Amino acid sequence: MKRILILPVIAMTMLACNKEAQRPTTYSVPALDQAKNLALYMPAFESAIAAKNAEVEAIVNNPEAPTFENTIVALDRTGMMLDSVEGIFFNVLEADGNDEMNAIAEEVYPMLSELSDGIILNDGLFQRIKTVYEQRDTLGLNAEQMRLLTETYKAFANNGANLPQDKKDRLMEINKELSLLSLQFGNNVVAETNACKRFIKDEAQLKGLPESAKAAAAEEAEAAGHKGEWLFTPKRTSFTPVLQYCENRELRKQLLMDYTTRANHGGKYDNKAVIVREMELRIEKAQLFGFNNPADYILEDCMAKNHETVDAFLASVWAPSLEAAKREAAALQELLDQDLPGEKLQPWDWWFYAEKLRKAKYDLDEEAIKPYFELNNVRNGAFGVATKLYGLQFEKVTDMPVYNDEVEVFKVTEKDGALIGFLYTDYFPRAGKRPGAWMNNICSQYIDAEGVDHRPVIINVGNFNKPTAGNPSLLSMDDVETLFHEFGHALHGLLSKAHYKSLSGTNTPRDFVELPSQFMENYAYEPEVLKTYAFHYQTGEVIPEELIAKINAAGKFNQGFVTTELLSASILDMDFHELTTAKGLDVNAFEKASLEKMGMIDEIIVRYRPTFYNHIFTTGYEAGYYSYTWAAVLDADAFAAFKETGNLFDKKTAKRFRHLLEQGGTRDAQELYLEFRGKEADPANLLRRKGFIE
């Protein structure tokens, strides 16, 4: 069967196939090659918003008594056209945006905020939902249907549907302003990152820097009109090699400060005032709902439930992490003393001397490893893990429309050819791409009223080293873990088997959503996995056993630093969102006081300082950055389930974990984990993995 539809939204083509015996499937291929035709967006958004409003009004005005189908399911199925437009626009805005798209976003964010609030605060709609919710025990619903009903009711009740009209009006104003502040914050970070350029004219200043890093910096400089020089920026792929290898201490300091002081210099792109205003509004919003602070308002729908639980959890991991970091700092200070007697170890020294210590202690030089981590091979290694665990097949396709020539597309199927979905990858930095790495849905999975399973289209985005004239893209060990991590998110989206789009894929509590991604990281450096993808890019030689042994011997190295850097950002996030007033808030002073309170050592800088902390001021992880560590307890415990069988790819265990992934948000997260593991997650598995306990 083949069905072709042309939607009036950016000429999106729908291609259909039926390769699954039990249920026909279809997939949506967005016209991403038209994504830079900016004239299409505003008419598309206006039409899609109007369509969504009309669909909602049809539910409200339905003369029939409210039922699960005509109200709850009908609401879940609204907005398909808007989903299509957003799936294109916001993915491209993040990955390949420009000033013109930012200008469109500034128009669109208030429109979408107004639409969302108009629906949530529509009393007629809420009364229908409430009627169905109050009858829930008599409706004979299955577990997924009950979850949809409960989550729909909570989404309305927890976002203002029960508020008096004056508070509803104020809530709409708050949400609209917050949406614009979030956009402004992110744009300021991108602008500061792009504007900061350090050109080096004397190669002697780069002593110790690997030739591959110098070649990349030389190409960047030439592209910027400075041939014969070397360009370094606050992008991680640019400055990280300098921190690790360059003997020029002053240059290390300059580049680390360029990165950690972004949007904190005063002037047009400074984010301190944006943060203060965001916190004022978040506090006011929480208090509209009767909560003292934003943290408790946000956490009510998470596994943790309240800030006391999160604070206690972070404190339990912080203490052993900080002690490990102090021991590591002392060891690095001894190395510094040999080079610069009397000098104190500084944050810009940590990576440099950690690399020296790793090489001395484990005879492990990351530059000697990188030739085995060619990007395409690493990606194929991640694909291979999914094949062994779940039987998935990956086929590169070249006839899909893309928004940039660097984007690649893979068709994902079962062994029998049944369609799973499509995975887009976009791995290289560019001026219009925000920092970091992420997974997004372009098209979500759901089952429509006719029983057709709409298979997902997922994208993984990164900022890995670009190939140079002499070398392919070679990844650091952190980059390898990042690629496996984002691919884990992709699998969560791809394997979804939910009936309802609002429960599919990664639509889970924030402190559960990182489990699938972090679980995949466990496989990256397992010896039997390394042998499937770690081939020297020049000779094709598989990574030697000796090098594998060194990688695994060094697996617990520097974990005090890594964990302390992460946890300090989590605690800082919670401190911001446990505020009950932002009156007189001085962002820099608040950060300093938070770090002093937690006992952070001077030798480490918090992973994300407030003015470039995109996670909590733009991307929806406010009072939620702890979830990476919370999920790490789950992922370490889940991987232990495989280890206990003596087989990393044990079929029975993999089948249970795939079932967990397929459920998305259709069931309670704790219930899903207990079903997979048969018991509560043991935090000791994480502490042992990091080497904090025996």
| Other C-beta atoms lying within 10 Å of the C-beta of residue 266 | 7
Q: Nearest 5°: phi and psi at 494?
A: -70, -40
Q: What letter represents residue 546's amino acid?
A: E
SS3 state of residue 395: strand
**Residue where the block lists tokens 């949007």:** 263
Closest CA to 421 of 77, 23, 28, 8: 28
DSSP code, position 197: -
C-alpha distances in Å from residue 436, one per residue of 462, 586, 619 = 6, 27, 12
Candidate list 94, 229, 366, 486, residue with the active-site label:
486
Q: Is-contact 457 421, C-beta < 8 A?
A: yes
Which residue blocks in 495-620 are alpha helix, DSSP H? 515-521, 527-533, 545-553, 559-577, 587-598, 614-617
Q: What letter represents residue 307's amino acid?
A: H
363: left (phi over 0), alpha (psi -120 to 50) or beta: left
C-alpha triplet 21, 439, 306: angle, nearest 5°: 105
- Whether 481 is a known active-site residue: answer no
Q: How far is CA 445 from the centre of its chain?
A: 19
Distance CA 578, CA 623 (A): 8
Q: Nearest 5°: phi and psi at 235?
A: -80, 140
Q: Which two tokens stand for residue 305?
A: 């439930």
**Residue where the block lists tokens 């626009």:** 89
Q: Which two tokens stand for residue 620?
A: 């929806």
Distance CA 537, CA 369 (A): 11
Give the burial string for 288-313 (b: 16+ CB within 10 Å, else e): bbebebbbbbbbeebbbeebebbbeb
Q: Is-contact 49 449, C-beta < 8 A?
A: no
DSSP code, position 70: I
**147 CB-side CA count, 13 A:** 23
Quote the crossing angle between the two packed helices 123-134 and 41-60, to the nearest 10°.
50
C-alpha distances in Å from residue 305, one per residue of 221, 309, 562, 576 = 49, 7, 26, 17
Q: Is-contact 525 556, C-beta < 8 A?
A: no
Q: Nearest 5°: phi and psi at 97?
A: -80, 175
Catalytic residues: 486
